[in-house]
Amino acid sequence: MPSSFTDPAQREQENEARLCVIGLGNPGKRYASTRHNIGFMVIDRLADALGVRESSFYRNYSFAETRHQGRRVILCKPETYMNLSGEAVSLLLAKQRLNLSEILVVYDEIQLPLGQLRLRKRGSDGGHNGLSSIIENLGSERFPRLRCGVDFSSQGVDLAEYVLSPFQKEELPLAADMIERAA
C-alpha cells in the first residue's frame, strides 16, 4: 500500500522514538534466581520501576510495552532458553520492526566481577552462548548490550553448574544493587 494511504496514527507510531530492552535468561521457576537469569531479573526490576503490571506472550518471547519520557519502551524475555535466544530476538525485531540500534540486550557476564556493569555499542559474543545465538540469528554484532558481572573465580567448579546456581547469601546485596543500577 502506498504511504499516502497509510493510517496517520500508524505512521506516527512507526516513527516514534522507541527502545526495546531484552533480558536474557531461562524460563521456569528452576532457573528464576540463578546467575544466568540476571537479564530476566533486570527486566522484572525495570518493569516494576516503570509500573508495568502485565505482559503478553508471542510465539517464543514474553513482552510488555509502556511509555517513558516520550518514548515507547518494550521489555522482552526470550522464552527459548539461553542458548536459543537469537530465535526469539530475531522474531521480536521483525514483528516490532525494530532496528538494531533500538535494542539493548542485558545478560550475565562471568568475566566481570560480581556487581560490575559494562555497556557496549557492539562487540563479539565473548563466549556467551545466548549472545552468540543472537549474533548468529541477526547476522550482526552491531547492537548495544549491557553486561552484568556475575564473576567466575571458583576453582574446580563446572561453568554450567556455576551460572545455573543461585547467588550465595553473602552475594545477594551486591547482586541486588547491580540489578537496581542496571534497571
Name which of 92, 62, 56, 66 is nearest 77 in CA terms. Answer: 62
Is 128 tagged catalytic?
no
Name which of 166, 127, 167 is nearest 147 in CA terms. Answer: 127
Q: Say if residues 78 and 24 touch (Cβ distance below 8 Å).
A: yes
pLDDT in tens, 127-160: 999 999 999 999 999 999 999 999 997 778 899 9
Q: Residue 3 has what pLDDT? A: 39
pTM here?
A: 0.90
pLDDT in tens, 88-124: 999 999 999 999 999 999 999 999 999 999 999 999 9
Q: Which CATH superfamily is domain 3-182 in?
A: Peptidyl-tRNA hydrolase (3.40.50.1470)
Contacting residues for 135 by C-beta, under 8 A, at least 6 apart: 86, 124, 125, 141
Q: Of 36, 77, 145, 147, which one is the catalytic site residue? A: 36
Indicate if the pLDDT at residue 4 is higher than 90.
Answer: no
Q: Say if residues 134 and 177 touch (Cβ distance below 8 Å).
A: no
